[in-house]
Amino acid sequence: MPISIAMAGKGGTGKTTVSGMLIKYLGNRGKSPVLAVDADANANLNEVLGLEVTQTIGNAREEMKKGIVPRGMTKDVFISMKLEQAVMEQQGFDLVVMGQPEGAGCYCAANTLLAGFLERLSGNYPYVVMDNEAGMEHLSRLTTKNVDVLLIVTDTSRRGLQAGLRIHKLAKDLNLGVGKSYIIINQAKSDPTDAVKEMIDGDGLELAGVIPEDEQVYEFDLDGRPTIDIDEENPAIKAAYSIFDKIIP
């Protein structure tokens, strides 16, 4: 079974950038191939990884819902084919973009099929990294519920931290089977205060570490350059790697 690592956090905290750092880390530590899953409706993990999306699982779901299945082909075979087409293969990792439904109506049947095929696909990888939207509902609908490591990314703002704590509670309420939850403070200008540490400890979370605010990371993101290309000697990358060394099995 692969080790599944789910990323979550309030919008703007840099969770997708941290996801890219984690994917790069796993590849450089010989823990590849990695299956990267972009489960955020506002998908942009591909930009962090320097890839252009040509097919999403959401597109396949729409086609199946609308009955656009070739004559003589079952829905199971059709979805399986579309899933394989949606896998973007790269050196050290593969990326799947979930996408989102375009129309109204029930997607339960399609989602059930997709969950099964995605779970089967993930069995081919030692690690699965899932970049999720702020809520965890998308994760519970479309991917395996068993999450070995939940990494909640927050910035230094009180709202960002409160959102992270709510995500932690939601993950428990949804009974996702999370093995271990951590919080990472990203884009930090200084070490967390005692008040911040007390908020985290009081919620039963463990502070994995702090990633400092970094001008190069900001410039790469602003220029649309893949942050996965940033050198490992960069202070933010080094801080992230130090965190991953401690918490990634």
pLDDT digits (tens, 9 = 90+) for 59-110: 877 777 777 788 888 877 887 788 788 899 999 999 988 776 555 555 555 5
3-state helix, strand, coil in the chain (%, to 5): 45, 20, 35
Tokens coding 203: 């919620």
Instruction: Please state, in angstroms and rounded to a whole number, the distance separating the CA atoms of residues 22 and 18.
Output: 6
Name the CATH superfamily for 3-247. P-loop containing nucleotide triphosphate hydrolases (3.40.50.300)
- Share of residues in the chain with pLDDT > 90 (%): 43
pTM above 0.85, yes or no: yes
> Residue 21 — pLDDT band, cuts 50, 70, 90?
very high
54 backbone dihedrals φ, ψ, rounded to 5°: -115, -20
The H or E element containing residue 150 is: strand 147-154
> Residue 149 — pLDDT band, cuts 50, 70, 90?
very high
Cα separations in angstroms, 144 against 27, 118, 213? 23, 8, 33
184 backbone dihedrals φ, ψ, rounded to 5°: -120, 125
